[in-house]
Amino acid sequence: MIQKEKEVRELAGILKTVDSCDTCRLGLVDGNRAYIVPLCFGYTFLNGKFTFYFQSRLDEKKTALIKAAEEAAEEITFQMDANHCMLPVGGSEYTMLYSSAFGCGRPVFLNGEEEKRTALKHILAHYIPGKFAEDQNSLPENACIFKLEVTELTCRENR
């Protein structure tokens, strides 16, 4: 059962939820199986739209699956969560406190050096505040960088 009262609708709450998460799991399709990939991420929120940024190694299976989705113009799903805490609510009942975000978007691999550097700065800034302003002159060897242009995002929390 989906509990609408747990949905976060205000932008400040949505940004707080995304900020609190440290891993974004992408839901990919591998033939007739689901393939879930946890990744570090960074993001921007511009003109009312989220864009998530990721870095991956060129030789990995996930890269091939994401490229296949990009070439087919298919959306991929994502999920992230944070702030977990189990609390007793009375007797032998408990509740799990959490914040979560999930949705879907279109993957796009980045080709330009400047665009890749900017994406890496957003990833660093998510984990190390203040790193965004530092110069990122070199790109990791054998890395591909992609973004997810978010088309749908829902946040929920139990606080």
pTM: 0.88
Note the pLDDT tens digit of each residue in 26-79.
Answer: 999 999 999 999 999 999 999 999 999 999 876 688 899 999 999 999 999 999
> Six-digit token pair at 116?
């890749």
Residue 109 Cα distances to 1, 22, 114, angstroms: 36, 22, 13
Note the pLDDT tens digit of each residue in 66-114.
Answer: 999 999 999 999 999 998 888 888 888 988 888 999 999 999 999 888 8
pLDDT > 90? residue 117 = no
- Give the length of the chain: 159
Note the pLDDT tens digit of each residue in 8-27.
Answer: 989 999 999 999 999 999 99
Note the pLDDT tens digit of each residue in 121-158.
Answer: 899 899 988 765 555 566 777 678 999 999 999 999 98
* CATH class assigned to 4-158: mainly beta
Residue 137 burial (C-beta neighbours within 10 Å; 0-12, 13-18, 19+): exposed
pLDDT in the model for residue 135: 56
pLDDT in the model for residue 88: 85
pLDDT in the model for residue 1: 44
Every domain of the chain and the residues it spans: 4-158
